[in-house]
Amino acid sequence: MSDALIRWIAGALAVLALLAGVWWHGWHTRDLQAERAVQDRALADARQALADFRTESNRLNSIAGDIQQRVDQINTNATRHTTEYRTYAMQNPLPADCRFDAERLRRIQSAVDDANATIAAGQSGDAGVTD
């Protein structure tokens, strides 16, 4: 073999090696781009899930605050009615035949009315809440 043929073969091999390197780099870059697209989509999905979680948490916190406010109102009314009833019962004990007088019945009915109003307000307020 002559020197010229050997140089020509060496040059051809160098060009082939260069082309193989360019092809491998392109293939590798395409894989990285595809992987990056998948990771970007997963990140976008995770961010959306976090935003949805935050929205739902805020909604549930609002409902919990409303429920706590209603419980506090019921406790306040119950305490007030209990105190009024016990005071009246101490001042006006039941007669021997154990029949409730008009004022005692009025106080009991007032407590029942407050409880029913709270229940009705809770049911009308729950109409706008969907789970």
Question: What's the chain's average pLDDT?
Answer: 84
Residue 128: inside a domain: no
* Confidence (pLDDT) at 51: 96
> Does residue 33 sit within a domain?
yes
At 126 the pLDDT is: 59
Q: In the block, which residue shows the tokens 């409730």?
A: 100
Domain count within the chain:
1
- DSSP state for residue 92 in the 8-state scheme: S
What is the pLDDT, as a whole number, of residue 122? 74
At 44-88, the pLDDT tens digits run: 999 999 999 999 999 999 999 999 998 898 888 888 888 888 888
The two three-digit tokens of residue 64, written as one number: 């919990």
Total number of residues shown for the chain:
131
User: What is the percent of the chain with per-residue pLDDT over 70, rounded to a whole number?
Assistant: 93
Backbone phi, psi, residue 112, to 5°: -65, -45
Measured distance CA(87)–CA(90) in Å, rounded: 5
Cα–Cα distance list, 69 to 62, 80, 98, 120, 127 (Å): 11, 17, 38, 15, 18
In a domain, 17, yes or no: yes
In a domain, 35, yes or no: yes
- The per-residue pLDDT for range 82-122, each reduced to its tens digit, is 888 888 878 877 767 777 778 878 888 888 888 888 888 87
Q: What is the pLDDT of residue 40?
A: 93
> Is residue 130 a part of any domain in this protein?
no
In a domain, 75, yes or no: yes
Give residue 18's domain range.
Answer: 3-123
What are residue 115's phi and psi, to 5 degrees? Answer: -65, -45
Element (H, E) at 90: helix 3-91
pLDDT band at residue 131 using 50, 70 and 90 as cut-offs? very low
The answer to whether residue 37 is domain-embedded is: yes
pLDDT of residue 52: 96
